[in-house]
Structure 1
């Protein structure tokens, strides 16, 4: 059974330090903190592989997550998983919901529902179907359509404004998917660049197309930014039409274009900053070694990030004219239903 446990004592005599990494085995004495074995103590080991991103060092007083095995009411073995973080994660999530609801009121509540729905559809639909071998491109498009539809109509209501934002986002997502497929082939980037992707092949999922999963992730990751742009433009044009019902389609489209230019001017940089965190350490290594820029840009990992950032930004930029055109045609003359 899975359980929380408290670290009572540790023995680091078999732990060896080599520079910044540690190898060996740390002995850990645990006291089970929940379940039928509460209060019982057991000694277990914490193997260290010399990898900072994988290894964890425990100290007395730490609360850890373990898998406990018992027999006849006694603990006979315990497998250390990691530090226990569920309580802190729950606190952070609740704090986020409280602040969002405090600021945005009912719109914030709708945003929370959209947030939870997105997590559930990724966890219960997208990733399990990936493992079953469904086509990642088609599946990701369907999931994107579902998420965008749910979020957009939940926030804006069942209105023409929501329809414009939804259709604009879909146009951008489809365009980004086509660009990802085209330039993915030209870049000759394999899906193995995704962290832990190769592990899937080793644990029995050799039928999975990692490259398609990587390409699908490009437009799936940028769909949120596309949706932001589309909603901003649709709502702005809807407000304009509500204030001036006699506005022409041409004027509405022009206004939507102007709003779009301002929004995409910052949104593309937002995507760059969001993606840059994943390869900050890698770029620092190249800088420390004095690696030429031409070498860096030809490396698979960097090329993958360039593809990810530019195709995603391309989709965000194209959402603006798509949405402005749709808003100009669907909103004027329908101020009450917008």
Structure 2
């Protein structure tokens, strides 16, 4: 009896050591993969950008307002014209110097200067002439503070998975900055660049959070299928309604970029729809896959067909709110357009046939199609993949 107990304890210890070794190897592989990805992205992003605007001699610097030399405050409390202010630069080659600057009175540029206020200054030098203009309020600190609080709460509330989510979010940002944008400048079609980037983001995010499991494979597969569905739906919608990436409001600026680079600006709209639907599709795919995996863990005897039915029931509950989330997100992003159309009481035929409204509807509905299609795909993959692969 004692010898049997000894061998049992020895076997349990060996199994524990094997599991610890597997976890260690997974961590090492993950770190190596991320390092290799970052090195590749850093090399791939080494691309020469076209010079579209001459910015020679112009820099953006931080400064502090010392004194208001000429104010633009009127007797009725309104402001007209520009302020002339005295600033002390806190960055750049002229840091510490006091300089006179012009502060525009605009909604998009400039601000209302007061002594002690931190601002951003455009310093332009043309031969011996120096011009300093207040660009905006210095928002760096509050922006970085809110970003830091967000990541801190994500890690505190989410624990280890929260930390992994934060890492995945940073890698997602790097994918856009060092992969997607360089791909566009290298001549890759925006649609295909978006597909490749979305696939990489899906793999990294789901793998980091859930590891190499059937649950992660099912979620990733179904999410990618949902994203492709959103892209196909957008393409069909655009073809039927005569909408393209050349109907957007900032097409003049995009056309200028298209003439100076190899970017097909007409595809940017549809590439953006893929990215817009990616988050919602990945969310619902993970919800359904996790629910089915948990049911199988609690009741291993459940048949795949029963798991599929349960996954569909969970997906239907999430699907309605997720589709509403996408619609409301696009509605909120274009709220100014809707308010203008409502106040001006545009007639129905003008409203429904305007490019702006058509594009907003195409974005919201295409993303919702992706969400709807993801539900049965996630339920099917999470129910049947473990059976085919023989593991969870």
1:318-333 paired onto structure 2 within 5 Å = 318-332=373-387
SS at match of 1:331: helix
For residue 25 of structure 2, what is the aligned residue in structure 1? none
Residues 7, 221 of structure 1: alpha-carbon distance in 2 compared, 3 angstrom cutoff: same
CA gap 1:205/1:92 in 2 versus in 1, 3 angstroms: same
- List alignment gaps of at least 5 residues for structure 2: 1-58
SS in 1 for 2:236: helix
Gapped runs of 5+ residues in structure 1?
none
Asked if 1 retains the 8 angstrom alpha-carbon contact of 2:110 and 2:135, the reply is no
How does 1:39-58 map onto structure 2 within 5 Å?
39-47=96-104, 52=107, 54-58=108-112
Cα distance change on mapping 1:302 and 1:158 into 2, 3 Å:
same
Deviations 1:81-103 (A, max 9, x none): 32211211111011111111111
**Compared with structure 1, are the counterparts of its residues 333 and 311 closer, same or farther at alpha carbon in structure 2 (3 Å cutoff)?**
closer
Cα deviation, residue 173, structure 1: 1.2
1:31 to 75, 81, 88: 88
Partner of residue 82 from structure 1, selected from 136, 149, 155: 136
Deviates more, 1:234-243 or 1:283-292: 283-292
* Pairwise CA RMSD: 2.8
Q: Does 1:160 align with 2:217?
A: no
Rounded Cα–Cα distance in structure 2 between residues aligned with 1:202 and 1:320: 41
Contact 1:247–1:332 (CA under 8 A) maintained in structure 2: no
- Provide the residue aligned with 2:275 in structure 1: 220
User: Do the aligned partners of residues 64 and 193 (structure 1) sit closer, same or farther apart at CA in structure 2, a change above 3 Å counting?
Assistant: farther
Rg comparison, structure with higher value:
2
* Number of the residue aligned with 1:7: 65
Which structure has more strand as a fraction of its residues?
A: 1
Alignment correspondent of 1:279: 334
The answer (yes or no) to whether the contact 1:68–1:75 under 8 Å persists in 2 is no
Q: Return the alpha-carbon distance in structure 1 between the equivalents of residues 164 and 298 of structure 2.
A: 26
Q: Is the 8 A contact 1:192 1:198 kept in 2?
A: no
SS of structure 2 residue aligned to 1:57: coil
Per-residue CA deviations over 1:132-159 (Å, capped at 9, x if unaligned) read 4320111100000000111111111111
Q: Which secondary structure does the structure 1 equivalent of 2:120 belong to? A: strand
Q: Is the 8 A contact 2:255 2:265 kept in 1?
A: no
Count, aligned residues: 329
- Aligned equivalents of 2:242, 2:85: Cα separation in 1: 47
Q: 1:214 to 1:95 in 2, by over 3 A?
A: same
Query: Is residue 109–residue 135 contact of structure 2 (8 Å, CA) maintained in 1?
Result: no
Q: TM-score, normalised by structure 2?
A: 0.76
Instruction: Name the counterpart of 1:235.
Output: 290
